[in-house]
Chains A and B, each alone.
Chain A
């Protein structure tokens, strides 16, 4: 696959992911991931240093199975989580998409994100960097690894998958 094709494929998938989250199409969003996907939001050890090893250091969120991610999706739509009701309105903006690896079976991407959200009569935002590994599964490209580096980690009340 050429770098241009990889950029087009990867960008389309990242944009689609943002839109699915904004439109709360949770099952379609889960379907973007491989069953054995790694979903990782590292924590920070200090102002300048992020955690490196999710099994020896604490992450903000770490899963290595899509089913664990599905638990989280279930929770926000269950009606049993006060933190998820009402849900904030969100706007995912993804930019600066760059291809690090363009293979026929694997694409690695870097991108910037900003998620503005509005609830309880006020607006806030999370921003940072995405690193994605996409894997070809038949005709589809799916997310095998998604690392989300949240740069503003002084968190007002909560941060969940729909806010990054």
Chain B
């Protein structure tokens, strides 16, 4: 039985009342607290579509491997001795053991710890222990003994994605719209981007969509992060040699900004950076401008946060954070957080980037812990099932959102489905709409595809 069929309105329409012309965009609070809905979104939002796996610089050398996930399912990435990457499920075809026990490393073979079946970096089974003595039937000889390859595996300029379902559009098509923002990270160096060693894994006791929204939520900055703002202000006035972004600059309504939703659930916000000189990239501005042009160089210096639906986000403010969401339960989420930088960056700029990243992000920074605690507060508050089922959290900016690209989007050549631009103090919430529309579309399509028992 699906909870989604229980109510007056059948299907995902019950959870999303989407009528912007009438000034309505209501998200039912069960999407954050109903375990049956969580099961549906793992099955239909994550496990039937493209999901981000890792960046290729996390497996830089021949025979490097990395364990990751699509939804709830364990995935292995492995680079073979020729440098070719493969991706498969981390499950032995024999008894079902995970053949790889560690999160990353370098090895030629995975040997299943249970009965010793051995697999190479392409996932091929190279040894069934004592096969000749096994008196196996013909059925066994015809069986597929590989580690199950992902149905689709793609590499967009170093960003690796996989799908368990073969019936998905090509990766480039899935990313169209948001790929311009990935390009702006990659093109900061002629050698591309890299994940800087030193990762951070953490959890919060709240639904993953709190994070999905918060990355693009300009409205929370002044109320959730006043401690960070104060520290930034005191550094600026005290003449500290260490500087980071200053959120206070974003509150000035005169500062131009914009937010966009794209096809397939992706979304992005940008805001002009008042103090670009604090950014490590600024130190290479002249060379950057000469290589990519003034318009793109200036765009790279804006503060840009974006979501590659459903599980990848970037916060590009002073440094670049890449975060990967892994929902564990309806009220529990694992985060993997990485610092990203241009390859070949000068040592001083790299050092600044790393320390800016540590300053703001991660469960050990001066801002992220406040975000994570707020998500947990929301999850706690949502136990109030007697409160109205629809929140009021997706309505800011609805009076100014337009269909299609705004002038700035046309200028930089992106093709959003909706645009909201103008005064930055609108602190737009329509930027979340696209992800919920895609969420509902996928669940609806998933439910429709199930053959009734």
Contact = CB atoms under 8 A, between A and B. Distances in A.
A157 B363 contact: yes
B351 A55 contact: yes
A81 interface: yes
Interface in A40-71: 41-47, 51, 54-62, 67-68, 71
Interface residues of B, number: 45
Interface stretch (A20-28, A72-80, A106-114, A132-140): A72-80
B227 A78 contact: yes
Given A61-B364, A157-B363, A158-B372, A74 B198 contact: no
Nearest to B352: A55
Contacts of A44: 198-199
Given A57-B354, A61-B364, A83-B372, A43 B200 contact: yes
Interface size class of A (residues with CB under 8 A): 35 or more
Contacts of B350: 55-56
B289 interface: no
A57 B197 contact: yes
B104 interface: yes
A58 B364 contact: no
B370 to A, nearest CB: 5
Contacts of B104: 46-47
Given A68-B242, A81-B227, A157 B372 contact: yes
A58 B369 contact: no
B20 interface: no
B171 interface: no
B198 A45 contact: yes
A80 B199 CA distance: 28
Interface in A103-141: none
Interface in A144-160: 153-160
A132 B354 CA distance: 23
B364 A41 contact: yes
Contacts of A12: none
Nearest to A51: B198
Contacts of B376: 157
B105 A46 contact: yes
Contacts of A57: 196-198, 354
A61 B360 CA distance: 11
A68 B205 CA distance: 30
A154 B336 CA distance: 10
Contacts of B372: 83, 157-158
Contacts of A68: 242
A157 B354 contact: no
B366 A72 contact: yes
Given A55-B350, A157-B373, A160-B369, A45 B203 contact: no
A43 B203 contact: no
Contacts of A59: 198, 354, 358
Contact of B201 (A54, A81, A155): A155
B227 A75 contact: yes
B450 interface: no
B366 A75 contact: yes
A84 B199 CA distance: 23
Contact of B200 (A46, A155, A157): A155
Nearest to A45: B197
Contacts of B364: 41, 60-61, 155, 158-160
A74 to B, nearest CB: 7
Nearest to A60: B364
B161 interface: no
Contacts of B157: none
Contacts of B242: 68
B262 interface: no
Contact of A62 (B105, B199, B358, B369): B358
Contacts of B377: 82
Contacts of A84: 227, 369
A71 B231 contact: yes
Given A81-B227, A83-B369, A157 B197 contact: no
20 contacts: A43-B200, A45-B197, A45-B199, A46-B104, A46-B105, A56-B196, A56-B351, A58-B199, A59-B354, A62-B355, A71-B231, A75-B227, A83-B372, A84-B227, A153-B200, A154-B201, A155-B201, A158-B368, A158-B373, A159-B364
